[in-house]
Amino acid sequence: MDGQDLETTDVVVCGCGPTGALLAAYLGQMSVSTVVLEKEADITTDPRGIALDEDGIRLLQGADLYDSIYTEIGTCMYNFNFISGTQKDLDAAPFLSMDYGTTSGGTGHVGFICHKQPTLEKNLRRKLEDCSFCDLRPQSTVVEIEEDAHWTYCTYTDAHGKERRLRARFLVGADGKTGFTRKEYLEPKGVHMERAHDCFYEETWVALNWHITPPTPETHPDFPLWQLGYTPTEVYDLFFPENFRFLCNPERPAVCGRFGLPDDRLWRFEFVVRHGEDPNEMAKRDMIKRVVFPYITHQGDKYGLSHEIQFPEDCIHVIRSRPFRFSARSCNVWAKDRVILCGDSAHVFPPFGGQGIASGFRDAASLAWRLALLCRYHSPESESYKTVLESWYQERKQQLDQSLASTIRNGQFVTEAHPLKILHRSWYYWLVQLVPRWKREMQLGRRKDGLVRYSHLSGMPFVPDLNGGLNVPQVYCRDMSGEVHFTDDVIFRKRDKGLFRMFVYLKNSAEIGTAREVLDDVEVWSNGEIIADQTPFIVEDVAKKDGIIPGKNPVYQVATAEEFAASPLCTRRPAPACYDKYQLGDRVGGRFVIVRPDRFIFAACRGKEDLRRAIDRMLEALQH
């Protein structure tokens, strides 16, 4: 196919939802020219996903958006309260409360934030607008995709209705589960959604978003709580309390809680549609009043009154009330030749684990550096992309299967209807919580199991016998002036050359001189991929008497929870709890640690011999 009259770029991304936008932002950081085609004119104002786990927060940090997370995007979700029984009482004592306000997961971040998706997308798009390598084109509708041995070709109509054509090394479909890339192009080629191993789930739920305006004595003078001295803010907190609730009601399971910033006063309620019910009817006002309003109606005796108190209906603005078919499925393959699926295009999640956007983010971060590798180190004629892309989705499927299994278990937990199983569950959690250590482990949930580790398969880019494949922990550190940083930010500082990064982890500063001697040959060995003088040293104990040499490798000391809490990085987020400042050193297993851009260890080396071998393997991975 003649490409002389075509506009050419490295990567075309179809879809600028959270996954597509994050992918483009990471590609831009790696100087990969990217065109993003988005069929909508503007960001949707309807919040869809509302939960983002600590991996997702970490990857927003990697996109240089940390400063916006707690000021614009969202708030820590703190506790997940699981409430049993058929009572419609959000204040009922939970039989289990899981604490996601801690930093026990190994990323340095809280377990979850509840975010406002339109604001999340707006901040990601700002990054694209500021990047010279990214070109976002709204109102662009893909109408055809073609390929030959070396290129993909995309035909689309632009904002003016004009048909245009793009040629790219790769095309990524991040256009959702009903998007053009999979439905129209790849499904005829044998790519399809299938049951995700034993994680099959199909149910219809209604998802409802409300914006709440608290009543006041002026707007609602007859509201009975004024006479008891309650303020409008206190009334809001009573009827829409903090923390997320999983309502394990055997008659109709539901999930509810606040999302966005506190001042946004947004509330999500999701409930299951039972067999025989019409999903569209269940989303209408009359059924919402029947299902949801009992939860915002309090018994009068709670306040010493003789009648029920319902939160005023006219203080509720309905943003969304729609049925959704929730599934747990994944595509059989995520890449076919040069066309790739990412995020919801490749897999879909039910709502119980807050994993939808986070999994798309993981896809994007792990795919971006591989596309950069292929565009930077390989010619269009090379077929090395097949191995690179296959190893990408094999790795991602390992983590996806874990997330799906955890999500399904959560769903089964919430939707259990068998009386004996419910009784067993209640007694089990009551007994476990009698032992403080067991109770704390249970509260930390799956986070106590630590970070993901990939099992090595042929072609995967890490060295398994040098601790490769482990998601590298992130802790806090401080430079020699006392300023506190995240370790990711000192390891992945911006520079032009090299995809992989290296850092040196030492127990004390007396080891710095010896470690620097090992680095003398690294630049030559790595053909300049690793810059020795730019490799940071992260040290547990720095003593002034050891004489750190200025102007060479930057040196950082591992920081305490208290030092982080006193820094600007902790503004509007909880102070670290369950934080282990030694976790990075305990887990990496070597002094000289080569890290992939997706925050996974390539190799952790104890000395010069291991390091030389790891660098050779790194060059093989880059050059194939």
pLDDT of residue 433: 86
Q: What is the DSSP string of 113-155?
A: EEE-HHHHHHHHHHHHHT-TTEEEESS-EEEEEEE-SS-EEEE
pLDDT of residue 449: 59
CA distances from 585 to 102, 284, 538, 548, 588 (A): 20, 55, 9, 20, 6
Q: Which residues pair with 323 in a beta bridge?
A: 206
pTM of this prediction? 0.94
Q: What are the backbone angles phi and psi of residue 414, rounded to the nearest 5°?
A: -75, -35
**Amino acid residing at 12:** V
- Domains detected in the chain: 8-50+116-199+328-414 (3.50.50.60), 202-327 (3.30.9), 418-447 (no CATH), 464-623 (3.40.30.10)
pLDDT of residue 497: 75
**What would the two tokens of residue 532 be?**
């020795």
**Amino acid residing at 328:** A
Distance between CA atoms of 237 and 218, rounded to whole angstroms?
A: 19
Residue of higher predicted confidence among 421 and 122:
122
Q: Residues with Cβ < 8 Å from 616, sequence gap 6 or more?
A: 525
* Band (1; pLDDT cuts 50, 70, 90): very low
Distance between CA atoms of 30 and 497, rounded to whole angstroms?
A: 9
Q: What is the DSSP string of 239-271?
A: HS-SSEEEEE-SSS-EEEEEES-GGG-EEEEEE
| Per-residue 3-state assignment (H helix, E strand, C coil) for 317-351 | EEEEEEEEEEECEEECCCEECCEEECHHHCEECCC
Helices 54-62 and 356-377 cross at an angle (nearest 10°) of 40
Query: Do 617 and 463 touch, CB atoms closer than 8 A?
Result: yes
Distance between CA atoms of 283 and 60, rounded to whole angstroms?
A: 33
Helices 18-29 and 117-129 cross at an angle (nearest 10°) of 30
Is the predicted pLDDT of residue 429 greater than 60, yes or no? yes
Query: Do 207 and 320 touch, CB atoms closer than 8 A?
Result: yes
Output the CA torsion sign for 365, 115, 331, 468.
Answer: positive
What would the mean pLDDT of 224-230 be, rounded to a whole number?
96
Output the CA torsion sign for 131, 132, 138, 140.
Answer: negative
Query: Do 413 and 250 touch, CB atoms closer than 8 A?
Result: no
Q: List, edge to edge, every strand of the sheet that includes 202-212.
A: 96-99, 79-84, 244-248, 254-259, 266-272, 202-212, 316-327
pLDDT of residue 353: 61
The number of CA neighbours under 13 Å toward the Cβ of 506 is 22
Q: What is the DSSP string of 434-466?
A: TSHHHHHHHHHGGGGG-S-BPPP-TT-SS-GGG
What would the mean pLDDT of 360-369 be, rounded to a whole number?
96
pLDDT of residue 4: 47
Q: Is 546 left (phi over 0), alpha (psi -120 to 50) or beta?
A: alpha
Based on the number of CB atoms within 10 Å of its own CB, is 459 exposed (0-12), middle (13-18) or buried (19 or more)? middle
- Helical spans, DSSP H, in 170-298: 180, 232-239, 279-282, 285-291
Question: ∠ CA 145-344-337 to the nearest 5 degrees?
Answer: 40
Is the predicted pLDDT of residue 605 greater than 90, yes or no? yes
* pLDDT per residue as tens digits for the range 486-544: 999 999 987 667 899 999 999 999 999 899 888 888 988 988 889 888 899 999 998 87
pLDDT of residue 203: 82
pLDDT of residue 450: 66
Is the predicted pLDDT of residue 51 greater than 90, yes or no? yes
Distance between CA atoms of 195 and 335, rounded to whole angstroms?
A: 18
Distance between CA atoms of 302 and 305, rounded to whole angstroms?
A: 7
Query: Do 320 and 267 touch, CB atoms closer than 8 A?
Result: no
* pLDDT per residue as tens digits for the range 552-571: 789 999 999 999 999 999 99
Percent of the chain at pLDDT above 70? 95
Span of 35-49, 262-276, 493-507, 576-590 with lowest mean pLDDT: 493-507
Based on the number of CB atoms within 10 Å of its own CB, is 382 exposed (0-12), middle (13-18) or buried (19 or more)? middle
* pLDDT per residue as tens digits for the range 71-98: 999 999 999 999 999 999 999 999 999 9
Query: Do 202 and 326 touch, CB atoms closer than 8 A?
Result: yes
